[in-house]
Amino acid sequence: MKRGLFLFIIIIILAGCVSTGKKEETPPVVKEEEPEEIGEVIYSSGFETGELEAWSPKGTVMMEVTDACVHSGEYSLIATQRNETWHAPELVITDMIQDNWKYTAVVWVYIPEENPAAKIKLTVQTNAGGKMNWIEIAKPVNTPPGQWTEIRGKYAHSGSFDTVSLYIECLDATADFYVDDIEIFGLGS
């Protein structure tokens, strides 16, 4: 009896050591990415004052603060009656930014459901002594109709300029679009 129990235990031990030919896979190690540091908020607007605030039309765009469609809060901005891609809401940021700082702009946009999808991007325009320069800080993002889409762009500021502005450019020259919950973050060097 003891000898049978002993053999049974040996067989169990050996069975655990014998390979079945299948290699046991170890799960991959997933390294969590550090959240990107984007700095402090230097500008924030959801148009909750019911006014355009510091936003102005670039080109022949009609802009209105509305409660018809919002990402959050009670109001958003709608851009209509455009006929060029660069006709857009514009914010002059000259007095908000500092030399050798990095900036991240976050904007939520919405294409009305009755329209086709459109590509929207963020552009910074600089002006130094009449010489204009345009910097695409967020590549065109396909914005489907009927849903809010986040657009995020980065800009590293260096140099002296008479004016620096941020505008929200839609590549469909006649598309109407809403804008809400705009934030600009600054990170010093």
Mean pLDDT of 98-126: 96
Q: According to the model, what pLDDT value does residue 63 have?
A: 98
Q: Which amino acid is at 84?
A: E
pLDDT band for position 189 (50/70/90)? confident
User: Percent of the chain at pLDDT above 70?
Assistant: 81
CATH-assigned architecture of domain 40-187 = Sandwich (2.60)
pLDDT band for position 31 (50/70/90)? very low
In the predicted structure, residue 42 carries a pLDDT above the cut 90: yes
pLDDT band for position 7 (50/70/90)? very low
CB atoms within 10 A of CB 159: 10
* Residue among 38, 87, 63 at smallest CA distance from 188: 38
pLDDT band for position 24 (50/70/90)? very low
Digit-coded pLDDT (tens) for 49-93: 999 999 999 999 999 999 999 999 999 999 999 999 999 999 999
Q: According to the model, what pLDDT value does residue 178 have?
A: 98
In the predicted structure, residue 96 carries a pLDDT above the cut 90: yes
Q: According to the model, what pLDDT value does residue 10 have?
A: 47
Chain mean pLDDT for the chain: 87
Q: How many angstroms separate the CA atoms of 123 and 161, rounded? A: 16
What residue ranges in the chain does DSSP mark as E strands? 40-45, 55-58, 62-66, 76-80, 88-92, 101-110, 118-128, 131-143, 149-157, 163-170, 177-187
Digit-coded pLDDT (tens) for 126-154: 999 999 999 999 999 999 999 999 999 99
